[in-house]
Chain A
């Protein structure tokens, strides 16, 4: 077995897989959603579905920030780059996300000043180094990343930087999970909870999933063994008729979350009344806006944005894939018009997107590579 040797603990992997096989009830089908795109990536990379019984179906959740960003927001952000005074900055994940008039990278190729940064603090530094320009940071991400934007704005104020602002597209995971739970075409029995989002928000915010919807959630680490152990914990809950929040990733995730991060977010951000998610539609109180007290750093207040709504290309079925209704390869464009080299939808762009992960890793099986093995 080629890949099993990569694991630090092949014996434990086998044991976890055997335990999962033991726990599944004959004739029962299990739909488990991994909420986080990092998990989606790991699941495909390690071909974990191959060590699971066929009755366990992993449904890929909405936890990939660029994937859930509607194209209209991409266009709004890119409209800023047409202003020659503006330096638009974004994470690498954003650079190839297609807007209606091309991706940030294509705008750059056409002469717009779009620059990739690894940290919002890099964007702030760029503003300090270019006092005659307006530097805008195109902020995306869940609660993992939102605190870093909040702290960056606090520093911008402390340092008196006047030419820096943020185009805020931070989203929050709980309303998205609630929307999935309330969606009539979604039947998920349990959740593999996000790892790093939970280091910020802790485990308590998930309790409603168990209390109000009767479904288990287990926050999980990213190693293959973590994911398998989380599935074992979920199956045990389902077997016993329990539904509670359990923390498989306790070595990193504190139950109460990260208080300085939550404080910084509360000071800088407020909830938007509603926000559009690609595939999920408008979800109330599901995204963050910059508070009035930080208005001078809010690109949406500083600049006039078109505020466009763009429907996805008709043939692309990103929404269905995002909701787990379709598998990536069931989309009509998958692997034909839409590839990682020429993405039509954002799910094919980010390494955390289900389509890119599926394209890059799931297809290798047909090229003779072995799964982890049991």
Chain B
């Protein structure tokens, strides 16, 4: 036992707690012990008495230590710090609190971080898709913008005529399920369909679909009859579920943007993007 180190540690602890009286007691005991040790005790009874007194001093120091610092005096007599293994075996009360905090908070942080990264990458991908779809929309619209409004979109000549003035080839197909037709927009020189326009009754455009490598990316649904959400653009995720719904007015101004988060639930986001209405819908676009 390193007695001097023990008393030094004890005095420091007592001082930090403002227990100056106890500190003075320790100093007195320390001094008394030093005196007893320095005095040569030749005779047996004297030596035994001194030994007994030294033991009593140690007991008293132990009491002071336990009552003020909460540890035995012996444990203060070493400056050896417990290693990592020691700390794991006998963690302090403070470290147990930190341990619980870490256990409680860390998974939350980790999950939030992972979700954020997944969301960010997903968002990036979505933005790419959105701009691709918008670019495709404009490309298709450009092809028909300066042409005459077709009287019957399902007639053979209209698609060929429009296709000739467009960067995209337009192929007319008859819908097998309905009496109406659809136009397929193809990259020149390839059979890759990049978009499809579905024509409904009264020669009205009902739906436009956008494709990439055969995968449906998004579709525009048109609602006639003065609806606020004149053009509804729905984006699809990898599971072909609607992931974003954009609403545009007839003037092409965004009304709302809704994101699917879980199940069939959507959250509302602000949307500043503009997306024009296809020119073939209204006669004035052809002028």
> Are A and B associated in one complex?
no
A residues whose Cβ falls under 8 Å from a Cβ of B: none
